[in-house]
Amino acid sequence: MKDEVVESEPGCGEASSLELPSRLGAAACIVDDCGMISAVNVYAEQLLGLTAAGAVGKDAHDLLHRDAHGQPLARAQCRVEEAVLARRTQAGRGWFEQGDGSLTELSWLIIPCVATWDSGADTLMIFHDQHTESFTIEEDAGVGPTLSELERLALLAQTTTQLTSTLDSDEALRRLVRLVVPRLADWVVVDLITEVGEVERVIVVHYEDGELISREDLEGPMPPVPEESPMPLSRALRGAASTLVTPATYQGPPDSGIAMEQRRLFEVTGMHSAAIAPIRGVRDVLGALTLGRSKRPDGMTPADLSLVEDITRRTGLALDNARLYQRQRKVAETMQRHLLPQLPSVPGLQMTARYVPSPDASQVGGDWYDVFTLADGTTALAIGDVVGHDLDAAAGMAQVRSILRAYAWTHHEPPSAILNRLDESVMPIAGVSMATLVFGTLEQAVDGAWQLTWTSAGHPPPLLVTHDGQARYLTEGHGLLLSTGLSSTRTDAHITLPPQSTLVFYTDGLVESRDRSIDDGLDRLRRHAASLAHRPLAAFTDSLLERARPERANDDDIAILALRTPGAHPPPEV
């Protein structure tokens, strides 16, 4: 089964991909990072007397915010606007204009959230009138009394958006900590079951004096979970039940090593009350969440336990998705490692290669390189890119490489003739709709010099760097990319490589990104390659990869193949 990820980047005022939670029985709207309303629920339509069609795409401040006299409120004086821009959870009361122009005083709650993975930031705004209980959340979301029902719903909505918008399990847990501490407790403990069935205490965090303090001394491996133990954590890790716990729970003789660790936890942290709930995935129990209170005088209540259970259900789904994604990445990475070849040993030549998958893809793609020795002793080399960033592209890449090897081995022809054969067969045999490729041969002349003959099918040109730091692109021999269905006359280009020169083949991910043109990328690559000419080949390649890429992480696969000629031209071995 093939998973598809549809990416979109809505602009300011466009419909957001974040849906308002169906259980949020309060007037709510979503404001994007430009301050534009991107979603409105039916309760907001009723309370504010407006329609979603009339509100979406409008500036929330201009449309709604007013002073006590009904006049437009200066942005600098608007606490709602301040909370939205600062991305701070905050509550208050103010005046708002309804759809018919009348004025109404409402309580409001601002909750920052993330719309989707790799998308912009959004803000959830919840309103209620004077007939509804007031919000009690403080500006810093600090410690307070038991949450109201609206605050609980808001917390669950924020938990859903925050945890499901990342596929990194560690980041999901960090977000979980920031959500529940100190809002629900001043201690948070997360125990996870590893894929081999062992228990690891991965998080112990304490909220003190406005800071989150990690207690690494309390983290680490845990004893095994007893199958019949009635103790709360053991039951939670078996997925049996959620429990309210006090230090008295662990005063008796411990029935297992894990119970002894729990007694130590309560003694060291000073927790007087805690809630322990299992973190369940779709198929398995993934771990347990413990929320405890030490400085807060009020104990955890059954209502708190119910809220913790709702939070752990969302946590379980987020961790399950993250683990599934990581397994897919691992499988794909293993596949990619086997698809890419080992470089042969060619006397007199240094060679190295690098492959960096796109961080937003499935760890595989259509970028590839190859070096192999032909029947006549010459060295064939290639670098190419099959369109796509998924398993289909990787499979197509493997077939293109195999076909190219077969033609190059069996037909003693120039590179251009080999590419013509490949072009005719790549679509009917491999099913590849589009691909670029540079293919060439290297052989040593009688005087010991290395001679390159190559042709290009729509691929970025190779880069030649001399030992003294001169760099230029080999733009000759350029032709149409593969699988266009158009007839093309391909030509070969020839060059004698200078002593101690470095030849760099690469794919477009190294020189092109959303933030810059390919011309800028090519110029950047040339300048950095020239400055690194004196480096050893491996260091040259690593530094070039680091410097030539965009300042942020690459958004495309990258393959690099680098070769260096010897310092002098020894005659070829007879």
Here the CATH number for the domain that contains residue 106 is 3.30.450.20
Residue 295 and residue 399 share a domain: no
Domain boundary among 135, 165, 195: 165
DSSP structural state of residue 336: H
Q: Report pLDDT for 569.
A: 59
Residue 181 and residue 87 share a domain: no
Residue 303 and residue 161 share a domain: no
Tell me the CB-side half-sphere exposure of residue 341, using CA atoms within 13 A. 19
- Specify if 430 maps to a domain: yes
State how far the alpha carbon of 45 is from the alpha carbons of 14, 151, 460, in Å.
19, 20, 55
Domain of 183?
A: 167-331
- Specify if 573 maps to a domain: no
- Specify if 571 maps to a domain: no
Q: Report pLDDT for 312.
A: 93
Q: CATH number of the domain at 365, please.
A: 3.60.40.10
Residue 424 and residue 362 share a domain: yes
- Specify if 569 maps to a domain: no
State how far the alpha carbon of 338 is from the alpha carbons of 187, 341, 379, 561, in Å.
46, 7, 21, 17
Q: Which phi-psi region, left, alpha or beta, contains residue 28 (left: φ > 0; alpha: ψ -120 to 50)?
A: beta
State how far the alpha carbon of 19 is from the alpha carbons of 33, 134, 175, 186, 289, in Å.
16, 25, 20, 31, 27
Residue 174 and residue 160 share a domain: no
Residue 188 and residue 159 share a domain: no
What is the number of structural domains in the chain? 3
Residue 146 and residue 24 share a domain: yes
Write the DSSP assignment of 118-179 as a string of letters. Answer: TS-EEEEEEEE-TTSPPP---TT--S-SSPPHHHHHHHHHHHHHHHHT---HHHHHHHHHHH
Residue 245 and residue 173 share a domain: yes
Least Cα distance to 161 among 223, 118, 116, 194 occurs for 116
Q: Report pLDDT for 141.
A: 40
Least Cα distance to 354 among 562, 560, 564 occurs for 560
- Specify if 110 maps to a domain: yes
- Specify if 345 maps to a domain: yes
Residue 173 and residue 317 share a domain: yes
Domain boundary among 117, 146, 165: 165
Q: Report pLDDT for 525.
A: 95
d(CA 215, CA 335) in angstroms, rounded, equals: 39
Q: Report pLDDT for 4.
A: 36
**E strand intervals along 316-365:** 350-356
CB 471 within 8 A of CB 533: yes
Q: CATH number of the domain at 271, please.
A: 3.30.450.40
CB 567 within 8 A of CB 500: yes
Domain boundary among 275, 297, 331: 331
- Specify if 574 maps to a domain: no
Q: Report pLDDT for 80.
A: 86
Instruction: Indicate the helix (H) or strand (E) that contains 113.
Output: strand 103-114
- Specify if 259 maps to a domain: yes
Least Cα distance to 261 among 199, 209, 305 occurs for 199
Q: Report pLDDT for 215.
A: 94
Residue 102 and residue 2 share a domain: yes
Residue 536 and residue 390 share a domain: yes
CB 127 within 8 A of CB 96: yes
Q: Taking the model in full, what pTM does it have?
A: 0.53
- pLDDT averages per 10-residue partition of the chain, 574 residues: 37 48 70 85 87 89 87 84 78 86 86 54 78 45 56 82 86 92 92 92 92 93 91 92 89 87 94 94 92 91 90 91 78 67 89 81 71 93 82 76 93 94 84 87 91 96 95 95 83 96 94 83 95 95 87 70 85 57
Residue 173 and residue 115 share a domain: no
